[in-house]
Amino acid sequence: MKSDNIRNSLIEDNIGLVHSCANRFRGRGVEYDDLFQAGCIGLIKAADGFNAQLGFAFSTYAVPAILGEIRRIFRDGGSVKVGRAMKEKARALLREKERLENELGTEPTISELAERADISVEEAAQLITSALPPLSLTSSCEDGETREFDLPTDAPEEKISDSVALGEVMSTLGERDRSIIEMRYYRGLTQTVTARMLGMSQVQVSRRERAILLEMRKKLTG
């Protein structure tokens, strides 16, 4: 079982992944703060379920979880709904955050704020993100000029995170299993041709292919 310190570090050190994933969905009818809040929930779930012993980078495990929570907003047909009770708790936590910041002389981490409020890190993250206003990419400076803020993002935006995750999962496969996937899905070969090249029967390739895809899906989605 992972310690709370490790879990909290995974959340705090990878918040940039949430910005990157949420930024993909800008301009699709959902406010950025809702996208970010949903992504934070995915990040927290990823931190809870991550097993370093499997040999994957945390980002490989977290990105699909973050994207899954963000896409859930669109499947549900709207933004993340924040009830009155949660809004009140969020405002109280923000006030506590200001007091703690004054005491520490620096902005507190999520784990420090959670400890101060005697709540879980997950609840603290949800409350903080539920209170965030929409994030603007531009801001007016005192001199009247407009300053642009860049959010961390992948390039190309829609594919690179998934490609990295898939590549890392592929690297964990045995030589024959990797060859089956490469021949079938990268080279577009039929099962019959793949079987002949690997000295297997078509039935063996079919069965093994299904098993490999199931294993890869589990690793990608947790």
Q: Which domains does the chain have, with CATH numbers?
A: 4-135 (no CATH), 173-221 (1.10.10)
Eight-class DSSP state of 55: -
**Angle at alpha carbon of residue 120, lines to 88 and 165, rounded to 5°:** 110
Q: What is the pTM of this model?
A: 0.40
Do residues 46 and 62 touch, judged by C-beta distance below 8 A? yes
What is d(CA 143, CA 169) in angstroms, rounded to the nearest whole number? 50
Predicted local confidence at residue 138, as pLDDT: 44
Collapsed DSSP state (helix, strand, coil) of residue 121? helix
Which residues of the chain fall short of a pLDDT of 50? 79, 133-140, 142, 146-159
Looking at residue 163, its pLDDT comes to 64
Which secondary-structure segment (H or E) carries 12?
A: helix 4-13
Residue 26: predicted pLDDT: 81
Q: Which two tokens stand for residue 94?
A: 């923000």
Q: Tell me the residue ranges of DSSP E strands in the chain.
A: 138-140, 146-148
Per-residue pLDDT, 115: 83
